[in-house]
Structure 1
């Protein structure tokens, strides 16, 4: 969750328009005298879109693998004998231009209804799917949504004053190639 939140804040600091949209969404849903709660999240589509897009651009686990031991598998016209190693390239899937035009750009609006282009439901699955999906998905999403909402409620986030660009590198998990430094400016009247 901390990795995804760092990337989300990095991109929000560089796109003040999206950050302001999120802030206005928060103000419309959460009264100024309280913190955001789990009950508020369904009413904040931009908040959810920012987390989804961040996970698409920076899947925490860029690849993983599974061996099917039980039996041969046929997919389309292809036979995969039992004991075949399948490597799932989450990063490549979620950067496929077929489903995500301008895949390197962080564009949260592509997850909002009526915006962006439709994408295949399995084109970005940062938590996996089915019986092997991440068991902590719901708590991780809740933590990311609430933390991001609270941070944006309390602060305007600005990019590193030194103008340092950060890119991702794969080290078992996808991480920043250098520290993500941000400037946090307190919002007047934040709880």
Structure 2
């Protein structure tokens, strides 16, 4: 969860229009000092889309493997004998332009219902929590934690990128992690507009 939140803040800092759209959604559902709860999250589709798009671009587990132990199986037109090792590269599929048009662009709207392109997406184009009997048992808890944390952060702070313009690339250390610290600026939204706002720097 901390890894995905770091990447999502990094992406939002570079896309102020997307960040503002998220902010407007959050304050529309939770005005004033209201703290969002699980019921409120159901009314924040753009928040969910941002987390999903972040997981597409930076899947926590970029790849894993499974062995078919007991029986041979047929996949497409191919017959695989038992004890075949399958390596599944989630990262590669997430950037396949046949599955996701403009795959290197941060486009949370691709996950919103009602869009024409949404119906054309492959159901297994992005499965960051796995699927089936071996899917992540903690998925719902992890998703809720990320929704609540990101919504509260965006409500409190405007996030801006590193003034030095440092490029952050992912690296695989079992999990997909930032190769260098993600440096961001957090501007307190509660400071009155008449007062100059000081940016607080932070590394993630």
Q: 2:154 aligns with which of 152, 160, 183?
A: 152
Q: Does 1:96 align with 2:91?
A: no
- Give the alignment's TM-score, normalised by structure 2: 0.90
Q: Secondary structure at the match of 1:158?
A: strand
In structure 1, runs of 5+ residues without a counterpart are none
Shift of residue 54, structure 1, vs aligned partner:
0.1
Aligned counterparts of 1:109 and 1:154: Cα–Cα separation in 2: 23
Aligned length: 190
Which 10-residue stretch deviates more, 108-117 or 62-71?
108-117
Aligned counterparts of 1:8 and 1:115: Cα–Cα separation in 2: 22
Provide the residue aligned with 1:16 in structure 2.
16
Q: Secondary structure at the match of 1:123?
A: coil
- Give the alignment's TM-score, normalised by structure 1: 0.96
Shift of residue 113, structure 1, vs aligned partner:
2.0
Provide the residue aligned with 1:41 in structure 2.
41
Ranked by relative contact order (alpha carbons within 8 Å, sequence separation 6 or more), the top structure is 1
Where do 1:22-171 residues align within 5 Å?
22-115=22-115, 117=117, 118-171=120-173
Q: Secondary structure at the match of 2:186?
A: strand
In structure 2, runs of 5+ residues without a counterpart are 193-204
Aligned counterparts of 2:35 and 2:146: Cα–Cα separation in 1: 14
Runs of 4+ with deviation above 6 angstroms: none
Q: 1:175 aligns with which of 165, 173, 177?
A: 177
Q: Secondary structure at the match of 1:156?
A: strand
Tell me: CA distance 1:116–1:5, structure 2 relative to 1, closer, same or farther (3 Å): farther
Provide the residue aligned with 2:4 in structure 1.
4
Shift of residue 121, structure 1, vs aligned partner:
0.8
